[in-house]
Amino acid sequence: MTPHSRQRVSITNSATAVAHANIALVKYWGKRTEALNLPAVGSISLTLDALKTETTVSFDGALQKDSLVLNGKPASEASLKRVSDFLNHIGGINRSSASIVSTNNFPTAAGLASSASGFAALALSATSALNLDLEDVELSKLARIGSGSAARSIYGGFVEMKCGNTDDGNGDYAISLFEQDYWDVRMLIAITSSDEKTIGSTEGMNRTANTSPFYSAWVQSQAADLDEMRLALKAKDFQKVGELTEHSCFKMHGLALSARPPLLYWNAATTETYQIIKELRTSGIPAYVTMDAGPQVKIFCLPEAQLPIRQALKTVKGIKSILECRPGPAVALKTLENV
């Protein structure tokens, strides 16, 4: 990528992109190295239509420094630094300063993968504003530098993140497995808290890798889960996909619980929801849960199971709301302006 000098870019180069969050069915947890966000394991996800981030990046030679407005408010210094570092990767340290305005239509940092849609939208808007036309795989590698899961939000539908084995990250990118309209499944998201999470995924992953006695087993057993999931998705075998989804989720959380000090991302409503979904399954309604670095419960189901699931979850007092998600689209450019 060519560095842009302050002198050359004195006009405003602005672009807006929209990206959707994704939920991992086979989880990513652990980094090979932190610098380029290289994952220790591959992962498989579903991009979700209802959770989206819209981001506008405007590089402007007249600005003195970067600014970031997140959901209508100035972002924290830590968030601004993360975004500025990311833009330096694209435009070089002598680039023009940028104004970044980003809006999520869902709670930020509550385990709803806002960093995934956020950095996917930022990767496309920033590269477009700088007139860089990247292939999907290159855009995915770039988004990965912002957040590992963002590499998957470049694509719609079912997506696989590859785990490479070189230090330059050339093998660490996502690919599309099956597009948005491949399979009409649902992910219901039971919101049990809208608080920001206390331990971010990078800190949680590092703590786990450094202290869990189960970490190497986690890394070694991932390839088999990925192989099985690919086959189950290909066969549209709902039960198999659901079982593998739950297995990977509980394996990840079991691993996190075995860190010192332990990482427990759930609250009481999280476990209560899981128990109810398990009971529903024994009564013949197929549905499976998955959780990330937060207490929300994502329920993987077929369209016809939605009503009985909603009905059964009415007894869980800790559920604040339930969002319905369908498979979502790839990242897309909304506007591009060179003034």
- Residues forming contacts to ligand PMV in the complex (CB under 6 A) are 24, 27-29, 43, 113, 115-116, 147-149, 201-202, 292-293
Q: 3-class secondary structure for the chain?
A: CCCCCCCCCCCCEEEEEEEEEEEEEECCCCEEECCCCEECCCEEEEEEEEEEEEEEEEECCCCCCCEEEECCEECCHHHHHHHHHHHHHHHCCCCCCEEEEEEECCCCCCCCCHHHHHHHHHHHHHHHHCCCCCCHHHHHHHHHHHCHHHHHHHCCCEEEECCCCCCCCCCCCEEEEECCCCCCCEEEEEECCCCCCCCCHHHHHHHHHHHCCCHHHHHHHHHHHHHHHHHHHHCCCHHHHHHHHHHHHHHHHHHHHCCCCCCCCCCHHHHHHHHHHHHHHHCCCCEEEECCCCCCEEEEECHHHHHHHHHHHCCCCCCCEEEEECECCCCEEEEEEEC
Least separation in angstroms between CB 116 and ligand PMV:
6
Using the minimum distance from each CB to ligand PMV, give the nearer residue, 174 or 322: 174
Using the minimum distance from each CB to ligand PMV, give the nearer residue, 115 or 193: 115
Least separation in angstroms between CB 247 and ligand PMV:
14
Distances 10 to 88, 98, 309, 338, 339 between C-alpha atoms, Å:
17, 11, 55, 11, 10
Burial class (CB in 10 A: 0-12, 13-18, 19+), 219: middle
Using the minimum distance from each CB to ligand PMV, give the nearer residue, 129 or 293: 293
Least separation in angstroms between CB 113 and ligand PMV:
6
Using the minimum distance from each CB to ligand PMV, give the nearer residue, 14 or 153: 153
Least separation in angstroms between CB 136 and ligand PMV:
18
Using the minimum distance from each CB to ligand PMV, give the nearer residue, 147 or 192: 147
Least separation in angstroms between CB 38 and ligand PMV:
12
Using the minimum distance from each CB to ligand PMV, give the nearer residue, 115 or 212: 115
Using the minimum distance from each CB to ligand PMV, give the nearer residue, 46 or 285: 46
Least separation in angstroms between CB 291 and ligand PMV:
8
* Amino acid present at 102: S
Least separation in angstroms between CB 193 and ligand PMV:
16
Using the minimum distance from each CB to ligand PMV, give the nearer residue, 289 or 293: 293
Least separation in angstroms between CB 151 and ligand PMV:
8
Q: Which of 207, 175, 122, 150 is nearest to 36 (CA)?
A: 150
Closest residue to ligand PMV, judged by C-beta, is 24
Separation of alpha carbons 137 and 155, rounded Å: 10
Using the minimum distance from each CB to ligand PMV, give the nearer residue, 280 or 330: 330
Least separation in angstroms between CB 22 and ligand PMV:
7
Q: Integer distance in angstroms from the first to the last C-alpha of the chain?
A: 22
